[in-house]
Amino acid sequence: MPLNNVKRPDLCVKTQYIAPPKGLYSTLPSVSGLVNQSMPMIAMFLRNKFIAWFALIQCIHYYLNTDEEEVEKNKTKENASPLDQSPLIKVLMSTVGLITCYLNLAFPQADLPPPKKPVNVETVVQETEVPITTK
């Protein structure tokens, strides 16, 4: 009988989940909250598609990793930070920033007219001079 026989009940060990300890940085407002809030705005003002996609991916990552119990706890706090928005609002803002960057596809801007030929001032003055005749 081989040693790695999983059918033997004496070799089975029940797994117990142990929650990781709360660290120092879990209670403090993180820098990622500030970045998640400001990146969609930066993408909207600069109309930079790379920043807009980065903001969307980062907000979705934040949304997937947010603990619902901490969100509810932050809502009931008296001294809640204004950076503590719900993760869904952050995802919505980054989506709006991405749509703003691609707004030129729906509403294209008119092309600029071609630049005019530069005017030489000396030739204009010579053409407009009137000869003085004396009688």
**Residue 70: other Cβ atoms inside 10 A:** 13
pTM of the model: 0.59
Residue spans of the domains in the chain: they are: 30-109
Query: Judging by beta carbons within 10 Å of its beta carbon (0-12, 13-18, 19+), is residue 97 exposed, middle or buried?
Result: buried
Helix (H, G, I), strand (E, B) or coil at 14: coil
Q: What is the pLDDT of residues 109-119, one digit of tens each?
A: 888 788 777 76
Residue 16 per-residue DSSP state = -
Distances (CA, A) of 13 to 16, 108, 130: 9, 64, 109
Nearest to 11 by CA among 19, 1, 24: 1
Q: What is the pLDDT of residues 46-84, one digit of tens each?
A: 999 999 999 999 999 988 888 777 777 777 766 666 667
8 Å CB contact between 54 and 39: yes
State the pLDDT at residue 19: 79
Window from 35-49, 72-86, 119-133 with minimum mean pLDDT: 119-133
